[in-house]
Amino acid sequence: MGRRAAGKSRVPPGRRRPSRVVSLFLLALGVQAALVATTLFVVVLVPPEREQPDFGASQTIHLPQRQLEHQQAVAAFEQVAQAPLAMEKVRLEEVTPEALPDVPALPSMNLSPATPSAASPAATALLGAAGFGSQLGDLGGEASSVSLLGVEDRAERILIVLDVSRSVVNAMASAGQPIEQIREETLALIEGLNANTLFGLLQHSRQYELFRDYLLPATVANKAAARRWMRTEFETAGSLSGQKYEGEDGVAAVLEAAFDLRPQVIFLLSDGSYQRTRPGGGQETIPWRELEERVQLRQDQLERPARLHTIGFAVDEDDRSGFRRLARRNGGRSEFYDE
């Protein structure tokens, strides 16, 4: 017993032999190190034989899925859709009899309907009384060729302004043109107007009086009314009776009223001697320059300036130049009748 014990090798206390697990761990580390070395050799040292990738885009365009589905559905519908039915044309000969009956004989009648060229006089009067006369007078008309005491023109809207003051009556008598003859010349002009030409009459001394407050068409009834007014209301004694209104008087106020009617042609008959009442009383002569400026101001308010013709009777030299200038600046003509 004592020898066996002496023959065995003994491990000193505190030291043990390496275990089997440690040996396997070291073996695994060695294998991994070998794999890493092989990978580095292949990736780094050995060049790749394949080509580099091409990043270019192809020319083929792929439509969205919903658009492709729509096109497919349209194509399928066209394939199954039937062609429209062909309808045979109906010919008139097939639905009508071969011969139509004769038209029965009708009695002959001569129809000649009368179409009024303008509104009736009663309707015109009612419009004027209701305040619509000015709107009616604003309507366009038919142009007429007119001539008054040697002055000719052509227009659709005509206004005649007659000075009936005492000085005009005397001047016309001296010129061999009595004021009654002026009345007849005016009526002759009105009689020659077309039915759709609009006309108006205005007589004045210091103040004025209108035939109507608007221009009205030259119908048969309106011409008759103008004749009656000229026979009964036209003043030949040299003044207006019963015509009084507040405000300015004289020819400047008269022309303001004339332009309110918006005529295309104005005939102004006078002796050229114009006065007005002063604010404090008395009278004064109206300067021609002031009259021209006021007329120009009203002309600027019209769509088309009106032509202003002046016809003078026994006009003195100073007023004659003013008459000519007033007509020339407003596209009109001047005519004078002397003693």
One DSSP character per residue, 218-247 reads --HHHHHHHHHHHHHT---SSS-SS---SS
Contact 314, 172 (CB under 8 A): yes
Give residue-wise pLDDT tens across range 179-209.
888 899 999 999 999 999 999 999 998 889 9
Give residue-wise pLDDT tens across range 96-131.
666 777 777 777 666 554 544 444 444 544 555 455
Confidence band of 5 (pLDDT split at 50, 70, 90): very low
Between the CA of residue 205 and those of 71, 73, 93, 165, 309, what are the distances in Å? 92, 94, 82, 5, 19
State the average pLDDT for the chain.
79
pTM for the structure as a whole: 0.59
Between the CA of residue 13 and those of 10, 16, 17, 21, what are the distances in Å? 9, 8, 12, 22
Res. 67: pLDDT tops 80: no
Q: Give the Cα separation of 227 and 220 in Å (integer).
A: 11
The tokens 């129809």 sit on which residue?
Answer: 111
Domain spans, the chain: 142-337
Instruction: Could you please state the CATH topology (level 3) that the domain comprising 142-337 is classified under.
Output: Rossmann fold (3.40.50)
Average pLDDT over residues 265-280: 88
Average pLDDT over residues 148-170: 92
The tokens 């009084």 sit on which residue?
Answer: 244
